[in-house]
Amino acid sequence: MLHCRETPNFTRKGFQGRAEQLPAPAATRPVSVHRKRMSHYPAASYLTGAYEPRQFCTDAGAEVAFAGRSNAGKSSAINAIVNRRGFARTSKSPGRTQLVNFFTLRPEQRLVDLPGYGFARVTRAMQDHWRALLGSYFESRRSLAGLFVIVDIRRGLGDYDAQMLGWAATLNCPAHVLLTKADKLKRGAAAATLLTVRKELGPTAGVQLFSATKSLGVDEAREALERMLVQHGTPTSGADAG
Ligand SMILES: Nc1nc2c(ncn2[C@@H]2O[C@H](COP(=O)(O)OP(=O)(O)OP(=O)(O)O)[C@@H](O)[C@H]2O)c(=O)[nH]1
Ligand SMILES: [Mg+2]
């Protein structure tokens, strides 16, 4: 698990790196699969994967980060929202996303697939590395327009999810929770969990049901994403999402 329990005291310091010029390690690049069906974001593409903060892409424009427990369904949620299978790499085994992966949505607008937390079967050194990487990410990114926290609906909100939401609140960054894998629960049980989590969070974050496999809640998630990008003040002309 990532051990990042200390209360963060982040400021938006700005980051000097120009890591987009550094190639991502070839072995860890998500596969880009060209699909015949139309993406909601035709210009979307993989940008880079950062193993360390100096490899983060240039901090300009607006980006929305996807955080969540390992195996919760972050990469699958990104694929459903972008409407391209294989865009972000998914896996049945936890711990697949090990880099901070940046994707362009449109010029100056990005999605960021963060490494999952809560995966016990990695070395202490790797846990510490991921914790530092995530900490650096949240600390430095002026372009952070919003945070999606992806939660497996069968597990509910965990300590780390709450901590991510706390970080977002500290940064005054809008947050949205996807209760994903909703297809795994009966409709009544899913609705009950949605109510519980809504009560738990109050007005601090949006919450919705989601399923990447059944395409449930995808439009709603896309709208939340677009709101975050627009509120951050970047133009969305040429947008065809929705
Ligand atoms: N039934 C169901 N399975 C899902 C859903 N979303 C993801 N999965 C499955 O859950 C597993 C993990 O999905 P990923 O998207 O790779 O999860 P992740 O959070 O990116 O995982 P890491 O990168 O390892 O942290 C895969 O086997 C997916 O097919 C969903 O909405 N419903
Ligand atoms: Mg992933």
Has residue 67 got a pLDDT over 70? yes
- CA 96 – ligand 1 centroid, Å: 10
Q: How confident is the model at residue 237 (pLDDT cuts 50, 70, 90)?
A: very low
Edge-to-edge, what's the strand order for the sheet holding 206-209? 45-50, 100-106, 109-113, 62-68, 144-152, 175-180, 206-209
Whether the CB of 106 sits within 6 Å of ligand 1: no
* Cβ neighbours, 10 Å, residue 202: 7
Whether the CB of 92 sits within 6 Å of ligand 1: yes
Domain assignments of the chain as residue spans, ordered by start: 40-231
- CA 7 – ligand 2 centroid, Å: 25
| From 6-10, 49-53, 66-70, 151-155, the region with the lowest mean pLDDT | 6-10
Closest C-alpha to 153, from 129, 173, 177 = 177
- CA 73 – ligand 1 centroid, Å: 3
Instruction: Give the CATH H-level superfamily of domain 40-231.
Output: P-loop containing nucleotide triphosphate hydrolases (3.40.50.300)
- CA 75 – ligand 1 centroid, Å: 7
Q: How confident is the model at residue 98 (pLDDT cuts 50, 70, 90)?
A: confident
SS3 category, 123: coil
Q: Which atom of ligand 1 is nearest to the CA of 115?
A: 25
